[in-house]
C-alpha cells in the first residue's frame, strides 16, 4: 500500500509551499500538489497505460493548467481543499493511481479525458473505490458524454461539459440541474455551457496547484525548470481535423488582457524564472498584441541577454503578417521556438482541411524570416487523411524537407509528424459518419494518439482494421518512415 513520505524541499522555493510525496508499493514515488487533507483529488490522465506501455520518446512535459485553474477557483470561492495528481507526467499506471487514491479520504475523484486517453480513464475509474464520487471532464466527456454515463461497467457520478470552473464549484456545493453538468443518461439538451467564464483576467491561478511549477519544485519530470502559462481559451479557427469548433459551442475565443500577461511574466522573472512556455492554442495574434505583451518585459530588463526564453504555439498565416520590427522584438525578448501546424504539403491539400490562407510558399517564407531572427519552428505534419493520394503524401514529405533545409542546425527547424485520427467533434469525423463509418469504429481508431514516431502505435490501422487514405498501407508506411527520418 502507498505511504505518505511527507514533503520535499526545493532550494528555490518561492512561496514556502511544499508538495506531498507518496511512496508506492513498487518503490516508485508520486507527488500530490495542492492542499493537505484534501477532500477532492483531480487527476491528469495519461495517454498511455503505463502498466504495459511507455510514452513516446518525443513527449514533452506540460502540466495540467486546466485542472489547476479548476482547483484554484473552487478553493478561492468555497475554500474546498483540493489536490492534483499528474499521473501523466509521473507515468503512473491505473493501478498505481488507485493505490494513491486509497490512502486519503477523498470524497470526490475527478479525471480529465481525451479520446486517446479514454481507455486509461475507464481503467482508473474501475480501480477507484466506488464509495467515492467520480466525475469526468475534458474534450471526450464534453463531446461524447454517453460513453461514460451509459456504460453499465462504469460508475460515473457526473460528467462536466466544457470549461467547468463555475459549474464544478456549484456542483461541489450541492446545486442541482447545473448547466453543463450531466448526472444521468446523456441528454445533450442539458449540456449547455452557460457557466463558461467570460473574463479570464478574473480567474485565479494558485501556483500550488500547478504540478512541478518552478515556484515550488526544482525540476519537472524531464529535468527542466519551466514556467507554463495559459492566457487564452479555445481557438477561433475552423480546421476540419480539430475539435475546437465543437468545443467552443457557446464559449468564443477569449484571452487575458495583454497587460495582465506582461505583468505576470515580469513578476515571475523577478523571482528568477527564465524559461516560459505558453500553452495557448494560439498565443500570437498580431503586431499590436506582441508589442503590448513583450515591450514592457523588455523595458523591465528581461530579454534574451538576461537568459529569457519563450516558446509558444502560433499560426503561419498570422506570423506571415508580422512586421520586421515585431520579429526583432520577439528575438530581443527571447522567443526561441514556435510550434506551427503545417499539416499538408500542397495548396489543394491545405484547402481540403480548411487551412484556407496557407500555401507552401508562405510556410517557407515564414520559416526563413523567423530563422533570420534566430527563432525556429517545430512544424507539425499529418499523414493518412481520408482520400489522401500518394502525390499528397509526397508533397507533404517534400515540404517538410524544404523547411528543414532552411534551418538545418541542431536547434533549427524540427519536424513532428502524426498519423491522422478522426477525433470526435471534428468535421472530418462527422463526414465519415455520413459516409457510413460507425461511431464505435472511429472512436476505437482514435484511441491511438496518432504519434507516428511511436513504433507501438504505427500499426493501429491493421489492429482496428481501418484505413482511410487511398494509398496502400505498406506504401503509406514508407512515407511515414520518410518524414520520421527528416
- Tens-digit pLDDT profile for residues 435-454: 999 998 898 888 765 555 44
Coil vs helix vs strand at 244:
helix
Which of 456, 467, 458, 380 lies closest to 48 in space, CA to CA?
Answer: 456
Predicted pLDDT at 456: 45
Query: 110 pLDDT exceeds 80?
Result: yes
* For residues 476-483, average pLDDT: 89
**pLDDT value of position 457:** 43
Identify the three-state secondary structure at position 436.
Answer: coil
Cell digits for 266?
515580469
Strands 40-43 vs 29-34: parallel, antiparallel or unpaired? unpaired
The predicted structure's pLDDT at residue 197: 86
With 50 as the cut, is the pLDDT of residue 6 above it?
Answer: no
- Rounded Cα distance between 131 and 121, Å, is 18
Which grid coordinates belong to 479?
512515407
pLDDT at site 57: 66
How high does pLDDT run on average in the chain?
A: 90
The answer to whether residues 39 and 106 touch, using CB atoms and an 8 Å cutoff, is: yes
The average pLDDT across 355-369 equals: 97
The pLDDT score that the predictor gives to residue 192 is 53
Domains of the chain, by residue range, sit at: 3-190, 226-484
pLDDT 10s digits, 15-32? 678 899 999 998 999 999
Alpha-carbon distance values, 104 to 5, 32, 158, 448 (Å): 13, 11, 21, 32
Which pLDDT belongs to residue 360? 98
Max CA separation in the chain (angstroms): 60
pLDDT tens-digit readout, 112-126: 999 999 999 999 999
* pLDDT tens-digit series, residues 312-349: 999 999 999 999 999 999 999 999 999 999 999 999 99
- Placement of cell 457557466 in the chain: 195
CATH number, span 3-190: 3.40.50.280
- Within 129-186, residue ranges assigned H as helices are 139-143, 146-149, 165-172
Which is nearest to 121 in space by CA: 88, 83, 79, 78?
Answer: 88
Report whether pLDDT(1) > 70: no
Q: Is 160 in contact with 140 (CB distance < 8 Å)?
A: no
Mean pLDDT of 44-66: 85
Span 378-435, pLDDT tens digits? 999 999 999 999 999 999 999 999 999 999 888 899 999 888 999 999 999 999 999 9
User: Could you tell me which CATH number the domain at 226-484 has?
Assistant: 3.80.30.20
Q: Tell me: pLDDT of 189 over 70.
A: no
Percent of the chain with pLDDT over 70: 90
pLDDT above 80: residue 212: yes
Sheet of strand 133-137: strand arrangement: 3-7, 20-23, 29-34, 82-85, 40-43, 108-112, 133-137, 158-160, 181-182
The predicted pLDDT at position 11 comes to: 39
The reported pLDDT for the residue numbered 8 is 40
Amino acid at each position: 500500500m502507498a505511504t505518505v513520505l511527507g514533503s520535499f524541499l526545493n532550494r528555490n522555493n518561492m512561496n514556502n509551499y511544499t508538495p506531498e510525496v507518496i511512496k508506492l508499493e513498487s518503490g516508485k514515488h508520486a507527488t500530490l500538489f495542492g492542499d493537505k487533507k484534501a477532500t477532492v483529488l483531480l487527476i491528469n490522465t495519461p495517454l498511455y497505460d503505463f502498466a504495459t506501455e511507455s510514452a513516446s520518446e518525443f513527449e514533452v512535459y506540460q502540466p495540467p493548467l486546466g485542472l489547476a485553474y479548476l482547483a484554484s477557483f473552487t478553493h478561492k470561492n468555497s475554500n474546498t481543499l483540493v489536490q492534483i495528481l499528474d499521473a501523466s507526467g509521473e507515468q503512473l499506471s491505473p493501478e498505481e493511481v488507485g493505490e494513491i487514491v486509497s490512502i486519503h479520504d477523498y470524497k470526490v475523484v475527478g479525471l480529465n479525458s481525451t479520446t486517446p486517453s479514454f481507455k486509461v480513464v475507464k481503467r482508473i475509474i474501475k480501480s477507484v473505490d466506488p464509495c467515492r464520487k467520480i466525475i469526468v471532464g475534458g474534450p471526450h466527456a464534453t463531446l461524447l458524454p454517453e460513453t461514460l454515463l451509459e456504460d453499465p461497467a462504469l460508475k460515473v457520478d457526473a460528467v462536466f461539459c466544457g470549461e467547468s470552473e463555475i459549474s464544478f464549484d456549484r456542483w461541489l456545493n450541492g446545486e442541482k440541474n447545473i448547466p453543463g453538468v450531466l448526472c444521468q443518461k446523456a441528454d445533450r439538451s442539458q449540456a449547455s455551457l452557460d457557466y463558461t467564464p467570460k473574463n479570464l483576467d478574473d480567474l485565479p491561478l494558485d501556483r500550488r496547484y500547478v504540478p512541478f511549477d518552478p515556484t515550488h519544485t526544482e525540476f519537472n519530470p524531464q529535468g527542466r525548470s519551466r514556467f507554463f502559462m495559459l492566457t487564452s481559451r479555445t481557438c477561433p479557427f475552423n480546421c476540419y481535423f480539430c475539435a475546437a469548433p465543437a468545443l467552443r459551442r457557446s464559449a468564443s475565443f477569449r484571452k487575458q488582457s495583454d497587460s495582465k500577461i506582461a505583468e505576470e511574466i515580469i513578476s515571475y522573472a523577478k523571482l528568477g524564472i527564465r524559461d516560459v512556455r505558453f500553452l495557448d492554442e494560439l498565443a500570437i495574434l498580431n503586431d499590436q498584441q506582441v508589442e503590448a505583451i513583450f515591450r514592457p518585459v523588455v523595458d523591465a530588463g528581461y530579454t534574451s541577454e538576461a537568459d529569457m526564453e519563450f516558446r509558444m504555439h502560433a499560426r503561419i498565416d498570422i506570423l506571415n503578417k508580422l512586421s520586421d520590427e515585431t520579429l526583432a522584438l520577439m528575438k530581443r525578448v527571447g522567443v526561441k521556438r514556435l510550434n506551427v501546424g503545417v499539416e499538408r504539403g500542397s495548396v489543394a491539400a491545405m484547402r481540403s482541411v480548411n487551412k484556407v490562407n496557407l500555401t507552401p510558399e508562405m510556410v517557407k517564407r515564414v520559416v526563413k524570416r523567423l530563422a533570420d531572427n534566430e527563432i525556429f519552428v517545430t512544424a507539425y505534419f499529418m499523414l493518412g487523411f481520408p482520400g489522401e493520394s500518394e502525390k499528397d503524401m509526397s508533397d507533404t514529405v517534400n515540404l517538410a524537407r524544404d523547411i528543414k533545409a532552411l534551418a538545418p542546425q541542431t536547434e533549427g527547424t524540427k519536424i513532428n509528424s502524426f498519423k491522422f485520427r478522426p477525433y470526435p467533434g471534428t468535421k472530418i469525423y462527422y463526414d465519415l459518419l455520413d459516409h457510413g463509418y460507425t461511431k464505435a469504429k472511429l472512436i476505437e481508431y482514435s484511441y491511438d494518439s496518432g504519434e507516428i514516431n511511436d513504433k507501438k502505435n504505427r500499426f493501429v490501422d491493421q489492429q482496428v482494421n481501418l484505413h482511410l487514405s487511398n494509398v496502400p498501407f505498406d506504401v503509406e508506411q514508407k512515407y511515414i518512415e520518410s518524414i520520421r527520418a527528416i
